[in-house]
């Protein structure tokens, strides 16, 4: 077992101390008993190792990616950026400070706020810088 | 030593020490994986000496070596470990012991002097007490070696591992393991006056 060049023939590494055996085995048994009591870990491991669950996850991911690709390519009506921005401008055109003052409908205010938050800069841009539209926008900001 | 070809690396060759040990250890691993805690005792009986020796030669401290062995068995007792997938149980346990020993070294306070705590790396056999002096001198020379070279020496000379497996256990290439062994032997022989 020793190489021919080994200079310490006849000497051996010391044995582990006699009491180490009991200490080590007791610690190991205690750790094992504690680990066996941890049901959630076992349950999690079963999930982690379950081939069926991994397969279901993979199928789900492929499905979602497929749907995403299909929607991107087919172009659902009303989903393009130009159409959305146009809708915002139309909404604002139909909205005036006087209408806002008369209107007490909170859901309408909420809707306008949502639209403004979504794309307020493009809204001003699309208004062509007309005073009317900018005023409307500023009035809405004050109200909201 | 220089004449010893690097091709004498026993690439992939099983160690003669493994021959009687491997089936028993494999069986103990499988039993432990099936939930039989008694297998821990068998594994301790089969490998505690090697694990303790490796940890001792790596840390240079008996107390830390004992802690390292304990850590190995506490980890081994984890029922969530998938021991059936371990291909080489002996190398697996030696790797665990080495890592535990390295963790002990890293957790030492900076600047701590180990002069008073260094253990004897070698001991004289009971049947030949005349070697006690030799053992003390050998331990002193081994202490002068670096930890990395010392652990390779232990794995090669006392665990009988091939350099390929030593590389796997210590996380270095086969040739680095062989080179460390060669340099360590050369240093020892030079210090002893056997070789210039």
* Backbone dihedral angles phi then psi of residue A37, each to the nearest 5 degrees: -80, -10
| Residue B83 DSSP class | G
8 Å CB contact of B48 and A14: no
Structure confidence by residue, pLDDT tens digits, B35-71: 888 999 999 999 999 999 999 999 999 999 999 999 9
Give mean pLDDT, residues A52-78.
87
3-state secondary structure of B61: coil
Structure confidence by residue, pLDDT tens digits, A66-108: 999 998 887 665 555 666 666 666 665 565 555 555 655 555 6
Residues 6+ apart with CB under 8 A from A58: none
8 Å CB contact of B53 and A13: yes
| DSSP, residue by residue, B131-173 | GHHHHHHHHHHHHHS-HHHHHHHIIIIIS---HHHHHHHHTS-
pLDDT at residue A127 is higher than 60: no
Rounded distance, CA B143 to CA B22, Å?
Answer: 32
8 Å CB contact of B138 and A25: no
- Residue A12 tokens, joined: 């051996």
Q: Which residues of A touch B4 (CB under 8 A)?
A: 3, 5
- Residue B96 tokens, joined: 């665990």
Q: Which residues of B touch A24 (CB under 8 A)?
A: 44, 48, 69-70, 73
């Amino acid at each position: 077992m020793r190489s021919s060049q080994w200079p310490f023939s006849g000497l051996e590494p010391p044995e582990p101390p006699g009491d180490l055996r009991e200490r080590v085995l007791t610690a190991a048994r205690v750790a094992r008993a504690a680990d066996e009591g941890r049901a959630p870990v076992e349950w999690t491991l079963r999930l982690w190792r379950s081939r069926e669950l991994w397969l279901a996850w993979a199928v789900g991911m492929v499905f979602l990616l497929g749907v995403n690709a299909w929607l991107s390519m087919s172009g659902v009506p009303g989903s393009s950026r130009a159409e959305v921005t146009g809708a915002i401008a139309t909404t604002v055109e139909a909205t005036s400070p006087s209408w806002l003052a008369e209107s007490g409908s909170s859901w309408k205010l909420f809707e306008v706020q949502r639209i403004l938050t979504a794309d307020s800069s493009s809204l001003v841009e699309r208004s062509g810088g007309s005073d009317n539209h900018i005023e409307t926008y500023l009035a809405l900001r004050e109200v909201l | 030593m220089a004449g010893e070809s690097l091709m004498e690396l026993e690439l992939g060759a099983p160690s003669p020490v493994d021959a009687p040990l491997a089936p028993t250890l494999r069986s103990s691993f499988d039993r432990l994986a099936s939930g039989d805690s008694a297998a821990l005792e068998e594994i301790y009986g089969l490998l505690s000496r090697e694990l303790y020796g490796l940890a001792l030669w790596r840390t240079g401290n008996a107390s830390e070596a004992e802690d390292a062995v304990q850590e190995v068995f506490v980890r081994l007792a984890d029922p969530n470990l998938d021991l059936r997938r371990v291909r080489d149980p002996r190398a697996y346990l030696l790797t665990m012991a080495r890592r535990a020993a390295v963790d002990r070294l890293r957790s030492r306070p900076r600047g701590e002097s180990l002069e008073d705590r260094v253990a004897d790396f070698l001991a004289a056999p009971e049947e030949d007490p005349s070697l006690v002096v030799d053992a003390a001198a050998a331990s002193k020379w081994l202490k002068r070696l670096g930890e990395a070279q010392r652990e390779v020496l232990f794995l090669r000379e006392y665990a009988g591992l091939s350099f390929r497996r030593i590389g796997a256990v210590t996380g270095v290439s086969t040739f680095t393991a062989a080179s460390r062994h060669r340099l360590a032997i050369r240093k020892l022989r030079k210090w002893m006056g056997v070789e210039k």
